[in-house]
Amino acid sequence: MSDDHWVPPTVLLAVDLVILTLRESRLQVLLIERGIEPYQGALALPGGFLGHEKEDLVTAAHRELAEEAGLGPDQLHLEQLGLYGAPDRDPRGRVVSAAYLAIAPRLPEPVAGTDASQACWTPVTQALSGNAQLAFDHEQILTDGIDRAREKLERSALATAFCGPTFTIAELQDVYEAVWGVRLDPRNFYRKVQSVDGFIVSAGPSRKAEGGRPARLFRPGPRTTLHPPMTRPQGQADKETA
C-alpha cells in the first residue's frame, strides 16, 4: 500500500483432507505414509498442491479424494474446514493449506487408492494419541476436523453421510456414539430422531435381520439442519474456534 512497484508475495496453495468414516463402530481417518521429504515416512493427511493455475479449490479437493482414496464425488459430504497458513509450517517455503473435511460412508475394506499405496484407515483415538506423530500441523487440522464433525452432528443431518443410502436407526445411533464417544439410550434416541421433522424418512418396512427383530430402513430426509438439535450429553468441553 506504499510503493507503486510493490508486488504482493505469492504463496503455494495446498489442499489437505480430513476423511472420516465409521469402521468397526469406531471413527477412523484416512492417513498416508509420506514417500518424500519433508517428513518422509511419517503419517500425514492426504493432500497435495493445486493442480494448475485455474483449478478450483473444491475441484482440487475432489481430485485428491479420487487420487488418494479412490472416492468419487457421489454420496460424500465435503466441506471446507479452514485455512492453515503459519509461515513456518512447511520447511520448503511459504505453503498455505486449505483443509477440507470429508465424510464417507462405510466402504469396502481396501482403499483401492491408485496413487497412494500406503493409505490406511486409522482410528482417530490412535492417530491423536501422540504415539503416531503426524506431519506438519496435521494433528491440529485433524483435531479441528473432528471437532467440526462433532458439532455438526448436533445441528445438521451430517450423521447420515456416514451411512449408506439406507440405514437403520441403530446404525445411525452407532454414528453418534462413535463420533461423540458416548453411550446413548436406544429408546430415547429412537424417539428423538423420529421427532425431528424431515431428518430421516422411512424407506419401506424392509428388513435386514441379524440376530434379532428386523429393523426398519430409512433414508436421509430433506432437512439439513435439525430443529430441535440433537443434544450431546455432558459435553462440558470448553473449546473455541478462535
70 binds a second copy (CB under 8 A): no
H or E stretch at 96: strand 95-103
Closest by CA position to 47, among listed 38, 60, 35:
60
Q: Helix axis angle, 186-195 relative to 169-180, nearest 10°? A: 110
Contact call for residues 223 and 197 (beta carbons, < 8 A): yes
228 binds DNA (CB under 7 A): yes
Binding residue for DNA, selected from 105, 203, 215, 223, defined by CB under 7 A? 215
CB of 176 to a second copy, least distance (A): 18
Total binding residues toward a second copy, as defined by CB under 8 A: 44
195 binds, among DNA, a second copy, none (CB under 5 to 8 A by kind): DNA
CB of 98 to a second copy, least distance (A): 5
Binding residue for DNA, selected from 44, 169, 221, 223, defined by CB under 7 A? 169
- Cα separations (Å) of 231 from 77, 97, 124, 238? 22, 33, 22, 16
Binding residue for DNA, selected from 23, 89, 216, 223, defined by CB under 7 A? 216
State the Cα torsion 134-100-94-12 to the nearest 10°.
Answer: 130
CB of 93 to a second copy, least distance (A): 8
Binding residue for a second copy, selected from 80, 118, 126, 166, defined by CB under 8 A? 80
4 binds a second copy (CB under 8 A): no
CB of 83 to a second copy, least distance (A): 5
219 binds a second copy (CB under 8 A): no
> How far is Cα 235 from Cα 242, in angstroms, rounded to an integer?
19
Contact call for residues 218 and 196 (beta carbons, < 8 A): no
192 binds a second copy (CB under 8 A): no
CB atoms within 10 A of CB 97: 24
Give me the half-sphere count of Cα atoms (radius 13 Å) on the Cβ side of residue 133.
Answer: 6
233 binds DNA (CB under 7 A): yes
Q: Give residues in contact with DNA (CB under 7 A).
A: 168-170, 185-188, 190-192, 194-195, 207, 209-216, 228, 231, 233
